[in-house]
A and B are shown apart, each in its own frame.
Chain A
């Protein structure tokens, strides 16, 4: 129990620090940053009890918001994908309610994992940039940044995933 707790706490703190110290300062082409901290949501174990996931996702977003003075945009969008994660798992991975307890992300095929990552990143980024700009006239700027950042986050996330997560299990 405490082992699992510590590994989650470690992942939480580690992802926050990587995000604020490294990934927030990349500014590729002057404005592009990846947001791989949301991997916390992807990798959180699938359990029937979901309040821990919701609260922790909200908190990790809020922590990023504190560091970047961004109001609550990260908290809102990270919480959003944390809540709807379940439905995408059902859709993409075709897992039913029974399999939660035994289900592990490392046990499913790579293309489905990538699909699962990509869709959640896309939703998160679209929501985040919409809330950041908060202006319907900037829709093209929002879409452009969503798309480019999604690709960037996706590449960083799968790179980290295949090095750190899938091999260690």
Chain B
């Protein structure tokens, strides 16, 4: 017994070091696996609060850009509305649509911390449980997608950026029904890679990639990027690189997508497993 105590005392720094190192490595390994809520997360109230404070200052530097983006989106929405009105005008009788059913609901949030230069990037937003944000909701921009909600606290949430090894987003080609997966190899924040596209998808350089309808996270058809380069080997696609439409290094306000039917769809799909 005396010897054990002596041993512990003699090696107390080594033991303390090993204990803390094991704790740290446990967090590291946890962070590399998807679908686990993380203890180390910037969604907690202290970190989120500090980021909100500093963001209030840095906000002013991007006002011009934000305004420009809003004006552009307004124009797009106005055009959409105008097209709709014209079709309704030509129909004289009023249509009471009983099948009408709202599928998505959007929540605006502000990015208060952005990272895009690391291997695994996360973003922090200033909305949380209180505002109806939950894990696994998609996050989009007027002109592209950002990622998926990962951890949520009362007032803040973190987003698993599409610039992350754990990010796998279902995407498709515009005007055709073939699907694949969007992933990121960690190199450039302006580019991403496509996986699992079948040969028959007949991809070409310059094709627009949009979110696919197979995912419940994003509405179908949101533009993601444009194919920049691809190789065809043994009838399989290799190294498909796309240029992202969103500038991930410069994000302000985003929309969190709440799919109202998500629970129902997932419950149905679970029955087959």
| Residues of chain A having any CB pair with chain B under 8 Å | 20-21, 24, 27, 30-33, 50-51, 54-55, 58, 61-62, 65-73, 75-76, 79-80, 83, 131-134, 138, 141
Contact B31 A71 (CB under 8 A): yes
Q: Is B13 an interface residue (CB 8 A)?
A: yes
B20-48 CB contact bits vs A (8 Å, 1 = yes)? 11011111111110000010111010010
Q: Is the CB of A138 within 8 A of B186?
A: yes
* B42 & A133 in contact (Cβ 8 Å cutoff): no
The minimal Cβ–Cβ distance linking B10 to chain A, given in whole angstroms, is 13
Residues of B within 8 A of A51 (CB): 12-13, 16
Contact A30 B189 (CB under 8 A): yes
Chain A residues whose C-beta falls within 8 Å of the C-beta of B14 in the assembled complex: 83
Contact call B13/A67, Cβ cutoff below 8 A = no
- In the assembled complex, the Cα of A36 lies from the Cα of B158 at a distance in Å of 25
- Collect the chain B residues with CB atoms within 8 Å of residue A20's CB: 50
Within the complex, the shortest CB–CB distance from A24 to chain B, in Å, comes to 8
CB contact list, B1-26 vs A, under 8 A: 12-14, 16-17, 20-21, 23-26
* A132 closest partner in B (C-beta): B119
Secondary structure type dominating chain A contacts: helix
The chain A residue sitting closest to B161, CB to CB, is A69
Contacts of B13 in A (CB 8 A): 50-51, 54, 83
A69–B24 CB distance below 8 A:
no
Interface size on B, residues (CB 8 A): 41
- Other contacts beyond A31-B118, A51-B12: 12, CB < 8 A: A24-B115, A58-B24, A67-B50, A68-B118, A69-B38, A69-B42, A70-B120, A72-B24, A76-B28, A79-B20, A83-B17, A134-B28
Query: Contact check: which of B42, B51, B117 meets A33 at CB < 8 Å?
Result: B117
A58 to B50, CA, bound (A): 21
Question: Is there contact, CB below 8 Å, between A79 and B17?
Answer: yes
Cross-chain contact A133 with B47 (CB below 8 angstroms): no
When the two chains form their complex, are residues A71 and B38 in contact, meaning their CB atoms are under 8 A apart? Answer: yes
A131 in complex: contacting residue of B20, B28, B42, CB < 8 Å = B28
- With contact pairs A62-B40, A66-B41, A66-B47 given, residues A72 and B23 touching in the complex (Cβ less than 8 Å): yes
